[in-house]
Structure 1
Amino acid sequence: MSLYAAFNARDVPTLLASMTPDVSWPNGWEGGVLRGRDEVGDYWRRQWAAIDPTVTPTAFAVEPDGRIAVSVRQVVRDRAGAELANHTVTHVYRLVGGLVAEMEIRERS
């Protein structure tokens, strides 16, 4: 949960320190997959310059393969504050040595 607080506070150093150096991260805004901390940090900075997303965890579960699934309420606003999106998605994390090695976004159906 503290990583979601760090995301909402735009605390990039804390977020990147929670990831493996070769993290695999979905580019949920532009599409594709990012590789490594530098790409993820650059992505977030681009994203936050254009839009203002906030994510709030609402539920946590452990999947059969050991990954952690987190349901989140995602609210996205433009830089003027107008709401662009407000929905629930699931973030699924694979951890290695206590660090995030991979994240997947599952849209609600």
Structure 2
Amino acid sequence: MYEVFSTDRRDTFVPHCLSPEVDWPNVLDSIRLHGHEEVRAYWARQFAAGHPLVRLEGLSLDTDGTRVVATVRPGQRTATGEEWADGTVEHVYSFGGDGLVSRMDVRQL
């Protein structure tokens, strides 16, 4: 999912990975988004402003054992190359009965 996110094919994985009622964070505006169309619009806005990158650095189960935690390093593709943040954040995924992501949260480290 992270490899595809930074490409023009990111919309193709939405129905294969995200629940139709997915609850997703909009970190730019500090609000929650709901459903495929709101997530797609948010990503389109991000890519219109620049080219965000996310590098997966690790996967684990959360302490409760029901959520997947992805440790990621955010970045940005610029005219001179890729610029990566000094630190990492955690993307915490909850899954529905259909096996698709039902919620994603971002935890600052």
TM-score range, shorter chain: 0.7 to 0.9
Match of 1:90 in 2: 90
Instruction: Please state how far the C-alpha of 1:9 moved relative to its aligned partner.
Output: 1.4
| TM-score (norm. length: structure 2) | 0.85
Counterpart of 2:27 in structure 1 is 28
Alignment: residue pair count: 105
Two-structure CA RMSD over aligned residues (Å): 1.9
- Taking the aligned partners of 1:54 and 1:81, their CA distance within structure 2 comes to 14
Mark the CA change 1:5 to 1:84 in structure 2 (over 3 Å): closer, same or farther: closer
Percent identity between matched residues is: 33
The farther-off stretch of 35-44 and 7-16 is: 7-16
**C-alpha distance after superposition, 1:77-107 (max 9, x if no partner):** 56x4587761310000001121000000001
TM-score for both structures, normalised by structure 1: 0.85
Q: Is the 8 A contact 1:6 1:15 kept in 2?
A: no
SS at match of 2:45: helix
Provide structure 2 residue ranges, at least 5 long, that are not aligned to the other structure. none
Look up the SS of the partner of 1:98 in the other structure: coil
